[in-house]
Amino acid sequence: MQADLENKSYVNKNVKNKKQKLNMHIVILSLLILISCVLFLTLEINSGSMEYALSKRIPRLIAIVVTGGCIGFSTIIFQTITDNRILTPSVMGIDSLYVSIQTVIIFAFGSSSVFASNQKLNFLICVIFMVIGSLALYKIVFKRENANIMFVLLVGMICGTFFKSSSSFMQMVIDPNEYLVLQSKLFASFNNVNVDILLLSIIVILLIIPFVVDDINYFDVMSLGKDQAINLGVDYDKLMRKSLIIISVLIAVSTALVGPVTFLGLLVANVAREMMQTYKHIYLIIVSVLVSIFALVFGQLVIERVLHLTTPVSVIIDMIGGIYFMYLLYKESKI
């Protein structure tokens, strides 16, 4: 009896220590984000232009938070569904679909058309077609039982190559002036964020949140595998379809808002998993979102305020993420 009580006390103490360690990571990341946000808003502002500068920087900061949150959350859930740490919605060719949509709009209607010049309409078109396209892609991939990683990557590469090739062809034949307008949409940029689109994005995300909160604990069970989740009472197929719809909307919103950031999700999701070392998705999601926001805020701060460069932060992230992606592929091949 005494031994059982001691073992129970030891287990409870370990669980408590682990929770404290996990919570400490969250607190540290939150403080780093807070410091980065304050520096991003206040660095190199003259007292006379404070109001004007903040009116420009605050919407950009909100756009960074929205984008980071969408990418961090959707990547963790997508990796749980696919049971693979390499896959992300962006790697599956969703970003290439966005580029293709923007190219078709400019190619078919011109940069002066309402579809290109009206940012609200352009945002809605991108979101709708990206959601439809991504759901169709997911249906092709996941209708097969036990689709392996190579098949999923192959489908993603084929779709991404198709979208890139068709976009490149149209970009070669359009007017150079039209291409300059298009080029500004092909890289993720937080400059001159449209407040109306930002508000629309926030509204869409707020509408999605109630459908997500109740399912977070089920993802812990889904990470055990399909058979185990079904045996434990989880409606696996229904939850997967619901999750894919939510992921499609979030990725579409973040990409349509600022442009494609292909490898950010891959980086932040794997960093979160390495930091937390837990199966609980409430911690993985929170840390993934925080890491994503910190990477974007700190990266934008360094590029703009320290290095004084005009290079989009997405270019740097994609370069690092691409190297990391090849490392993960090499690591997986050794297992």
Q: What is the pTM of this model?
A: 0.83
CB atoms within 10 A of CB 335: 4
**pLDDT reported for residue 313:** 75
Nearest alpha-carbon partner for 248 in 89, 119, 35: 89
Q: Is-contact 169 30, C-beta < 8 A?
A: no
**pLDDT reported for residue 128:** 86
Q: Which residue has the tokens 């092909």?
A: 186
Burial (Cβ within 10 Å: 0-12, 13-18, ≥19) of residue 137: buried
How far is it, in rounded angstroms, from Cα 104 to Cα 178? 12
Three-state SS letters, 1-42 = CHHHHHHHHHHHHHHHHHHHHHHHHHHHHHHHHHHHHHHHHH
Rounded to whole angstroms, what are the CA distances from 90 to 136, 251, 252, 286, 291? 15, 8, 10, 20, 18
How far is it, in rounded angstroms, from Cα 51 to Cα 251? 32
Share of the chain above pLDDT 90, in %: 5
How far is it, in rounded angstroms, from Cα 28 to Cα 89? 28
Listed range (35-39, 65-69, 184-188, 257-261) with the worst mean pLDDT: 184-188
**pLDDT reported for residue 10:** 47
**pLDDT reported for residue 144:** 60
In degrees and rounded to multiples of 5, residue 278 shows phi and psi of: -145, 160
How far is it, in rounded angstroms, from Cα 314 to Cα 64? 11
**Averaged pLDDT, 51-57:** 82
Task: Express each pLDDT in 223-245 by its tens digit.
Answer: 888 788 888 888 887 888 888 88
Task: Express each pLDDT in 95-116 by its tens digit.
Answer: 788 888 888 888 888 888 888 8
What's the mean pLDDT when you consider all of the chain? 80
**Averaged pLDDT, 207-227:** 84
Q: Is the pLDDT of residue 286 over 80?
A: yes
pLDDT band of residue 1 (cuts 50, 70, 90) is: low
Q: Is-contact 122 105, C-beta < 8 A?
A: yes
**Averaged pLDDT, 243-250:** 84
**Averaged pLDDT, 200-229:** 85
Q: Is the pLDDT of residue 5 over 50?
A: no
pLDDT band of residue 148 (cuts 50, 70, 90) is: low
Higher pLDDT, 17 or 120: 120
**pLDDT reported for residue 290:** 92
What one-character-per-residue DSSP string does 34-96 give?
A: HHHHHHHHHTT--GGGHHHHHHHHHHHHHHHHHHHHHHHHHHHHHHHHHT-SS--TIIIIIHH
For residue 309, give the H/E element and its range. none
Contacts with 121 (C-beta within 8 Å, 6 or more apart), sequence order: 114, 115
Listed range (152-156, 209-213, 263-267, 276-280) with the worst mean pLDDT: 152-156
Q: Is the pLDDT of residue 2 over 70?
A: no
pLDDT band of residue 89 (cuts 50, 70, 90) is: confident
